[in-house]
Amino acid sequence: MSTTNLSAYDANRVPHAGGMKFDIIVSDWNSEVTFALCDGAVETLKKHGTFDKDIRVFHVPGSFELVYAAKKSCQCKDVDAVIVLGSVVRGGTPHFDYVCQGTTNGIAALNAEGVKPVIFGLLTTDNMQQALDRAGGSLGNKGVECAQTAIRMVGFTCDIDENAYVAL
């Protein structure tokens, strides 16, 4: 388990995001966590040049519903990337496992379709403190990480560029 702020990154490695359009799908379950993740994502997108009008935030009841909403968002032609944000805290039943696995598999399937990037911002923690530590606490804000990842993935291309290869 990490003990350092995972949201620290080199802002110079993130492209300018002016003109890029993002949908953020946020779960209302564990809202003290998910809304903080959303705030971090929105602030980071703006920091890198995304205009207010190009950031849409949609709310769904829980993390399992992130998949459906992300699929619908991917069908919108005016969106470059989708960020999903949720928080599932382990409880005393297998429900945690089902929600985490179903949501993970669903988002992975959307990415495999290759329509547009869907950035996975689902916190899966053993307790609420671990979630809070990752939503603006001692371990940073996963929403910040998701936003900078979304910006970088919008520009992802498979064009052949001999300068892109790194010697092993």
The candidate with the shortest Cα–Cα distance to 26, out of 47, 5, 40, is 40
DSSP lists the bridge partners of residue 24 as: 57, 83
Q: Is the pLDDT of residue 149 over 60?
A: yes
pTM for this model (two decimals): 0.91
Tell me how far apart the alpha carbons of residues 148 and 89 are, in angstroms, rounded to a whole number: 25
Does residue 59 have an active-site annotation? no
Instruction: Look at domain 17-157 and name its CATH class.
Output: alpha beta
Which residues, including other chains, have CB under 8 Å from residue 46's CB and lie 6 or more apart?
52, 55
Identity at 41, one-letter amino acid code? A
pLDDT for position 4: 66
The candidate with the shortest Cα–Cα distance to 151, out of 52, 46, 76, is 46
Question: pLDDT, tens digit, for every residue of 46-102?
Answer: 999 999 999 999 999 999 999 999 999 999 999 999 999 999 999 989 999 999 999
pLDDT for position 122: 98
Cβ atoms of residues 70 and 33 within 8 Å? no
Query: What DSSP line would sit under the chain, residue for residue?
Result: ---S-TT---GGGSPP-TT--EEEEEESTTHHHHHHHHHHHHHHHHHTT--GGGEEEEEESSSTTHHHHHHHHHT-TT-SEEEEEEEEE--SSTHHHHHHHHHHHHHHHHHHHTSS-EEEEEEEESSHHHHHHTEEETTEEHHHHHHHHHHHHHT------GGG----
Of the candidates 16, 48, 59, 95, the residue annotated as catalytic is 95
